[in-house]
Amino acid sequence: MQTEQQPCAVAEELSGYLDNELSQQEQQRVMIHLRNCPHCQQLLTEMQAMRTDMKVAVHVSADTRDLPQILGDKPARWLGLLGWSALILGVLLVASFFFWELAVDLVTNASIPWWVRFGIAGLYLGLLGLFLMVLRQRLVAMKTDKYRKVKL
Amino acid sequence: MESQHPFLQWYGGAVAFATSLMGCRENARDVVQQALYKSLSARRVPIDEAAQKVWFYKVVRNLCINGLQQERRMQRTVDADALAAAYVDSDEPYERSERIAWVRQGLAKLTPEQREIVVLRDVNDLSYDDLAEVLGIQRGTVMSRLHRARMALRDHLIRIEANAGGVTHAN
């Protein structure tokens, strides 16, 4: 009766014992306790049975119909990669050509006063800087795990 | 045919885990498919298999949380009876014993937090270190939470069994 009312000191460690996750010392302690505590012995057998039942109750066999769908995505991935690299290459080429022309024009074109040319250069450099800042922030946000503290 | 991708070996277990969180077999399948797609297209995946397993279950869990948040916005909640039914495999070869049905009902009555840890440990065989990593909790918390979940499941089972016994006696 007393053991029913008062939980044993090893109660929690019984789970660890079942899962084989205790240190050798703890394991020995639980083993010794189990020898003279029918209540915990009973609990351990019940937990073992529960575990076996749960495996049967919950496990899903991999559905073969799902697999081709999953593996079929490989070519799409390659095409995506190819598309993205072509796009980035194109944008880089066009942008560098544009900036080169702009820079040459700003340096050599004497018909516009120097301070206007200076202003235009500042405008473009500023926009570029802001874009890079946002890009960096986004990349950092993408890499940080936002699920750490989520409560279900 | 190319060789099986390492992630596919956890497919069944991952669907079981996702079902435990989403409460619906179809949504769970979608989530795991999405997770597999992410894993196949991710550039930086851990190299050794143990770390891959942890990483994969983390992806599945995060996608489940996303899905649940979306459903909550639509005012849908997981219903215990529907969840117990969702565990039933559509092509189960034969009628399972009563006891298995009870275990499913008992699992459905746990809190999501308890359900996920029990399913990850007992169905998917994650070690305590892996559990701590996937669930984002301290390793010391794993054993106590797991034990509490198991005791809760045991209590539910005793109650369900008693109810069923009472019904059969009455008949």
pLDDT of B170: 41
Q: Helices marked H in B9-79 — which ranges? A: 11-22, 25-41, 49-73
A-interface mutation test, from B58, B78, B141, B150, most A Cβ less than 10 A away = B150
Query: Measured between CA atoms, how close is B33 to chain A, in angstroms?
Result: 7
CB contact under 8 Å between A57 and B96, yes or no, is yes
- When pLDDT is averaged across residues B38-66 and rounded to a whole number, the result is 86
Percent of chain B with pLDDT over 70: 87
Chain A interface includes B86 (CB < 8 A):
no
Report which of residues B40 and A126 the model is more confident about. Answer: A126
The answer, yes or no, to whether residue B94 has pLDDT greater than 80, is no
Q: What is the pTM of this model?
A: 0.65
Please name the residue of chain A whose CA is at the shortest distance from the CA of residue B4.
A71
pLDDT of B48: 84
CB proximity under 8 Å: B 124-143 to A? 127-128, 136, 143
Of the partner residues B103, B119, B136, the one whose CB lies closest to the CB of residue A148: B136
Query: Measured between CA atoms, how close is A152 to chain B, in angstroms?
Result: 7
Domain architecture of chain B: domains with CATH: 6-170 (1.20.140)
- When pLDDT is averaged across residues B149-169 and rounded to a whole number, the result is 82
Average pLDDT score, chain B: 82
pLDDT of B86: 76
Q: How far apart are CA A66 and CA B48, in angstroms?
A: 25
Of the partner residues B101, B107, B112, the one whose CB lies closest to the CB of residue A58: B107
Chain A interface includes B60 (CB < 8 A):
no
From chain A, pick out residues whose CB is under 8 angstroms from the CB of B144.
Answer: 12
**What residues contact A39, with CB distance under 8 A and at least 6 apart?**
A3, A4, A8
pLDDT of A65: 57
Tens of pLDDT, residues A97-150: 998 998 888 888 888 888 888 898 899 999 999 999 999 998 888 777 666 666
**Among A33-42, B80-89, B114-123, the least confident range:** B80-89
- When pLDDT is averaged across residues B12-23 and rounded to a whole number, the result is 88
The answer, yes or no, to whether residue A37 has pLDDT greater than 80, is yes
- When pLDDT is averaged across residues B112-130 and rounded to a whole number, the result is 91
**What residues contact B98, with CB distance under 8 A and at least 6 apart?**
B164
pLDDT of A3: 40
Please name the residue of chain A whose CA is at the shortest distance from the CA of residue B3.
A71
The answer, yes or no, to whether residue B3 has pLDDT greater than 60, is no
pLDDT of B171: 38
Report which of residues A67 and B113 the model is more confident about. Answer: B113
Identify whether the C-beta of residue A148 lies closer than 8 Å to the C-beta of residue B136.
yes
**Among A70-84, A113-127, B131-145, B146-160, the least confident range:** A70-84
Identify whether the C-beta of residue A152 lies closer than 8 Å to the C-beta of residue B65.
yes
The answer, yes or no, to whether residue B58 has pLDDT greater than 60, is yes
Tens of pLDDT, residues A51-105: 988 888 887 776 655 665 655 567 777 888 899 999 999 999 999 999 899 888 8
**Among A93-97, B154-158, B163-167, the least confident range:** B163-167
Side chain identity, residue A66: D
Of the partner residues A62, A147, A152, the one whose CB lies closest to the CB of residue B11: A62
From chain A, pick out residues whose CB is under 8 angstroms from the CB of B136.
Answer: 147-149
Residue B37 tokens read as 């797609």
Query: Rg (Cα) of chain B, in Å, rounded?
Result: 17
- When pLDDT is averaged across residues A20-46 and rounded to a whole number, the result is 91
CB contact under 8 Å between B147 and A149, yes or no, is no
Give the count of beta carbons closer than 10 Å to the beta carbon of residue A94: 10
From chain B, pick out residues whose CB is under 8 angstroms from the CB of A12.
Answer: 143-144, 147
Q: What are phi and psi of B63, to 5 degrees?
A: -65, -35
pLDDT of A69: 60
Q: How far apart are CA B87 and CA A58, in angstroms?
A: 6
Report which of residues A46 and B9 the model is more confident about. Answer: A46
Identify whether the C-beta of residue B18 lies closer than 8 Å to the C-beta of residue B32.
yes
Confidence of residue A44 (pLDDT cuts 50, 70, 90): very high
Closest C-alpha to B22, from B56, B72, B92? B72
pLDDT of B147: 93
CB environment B36-53: b (16+ within 10 A), e (fewer): bebbbeeeebeeeeeebb
Query: Measured between CA atoms, how close is A87 to chain B, in angstroms?
Result: 19
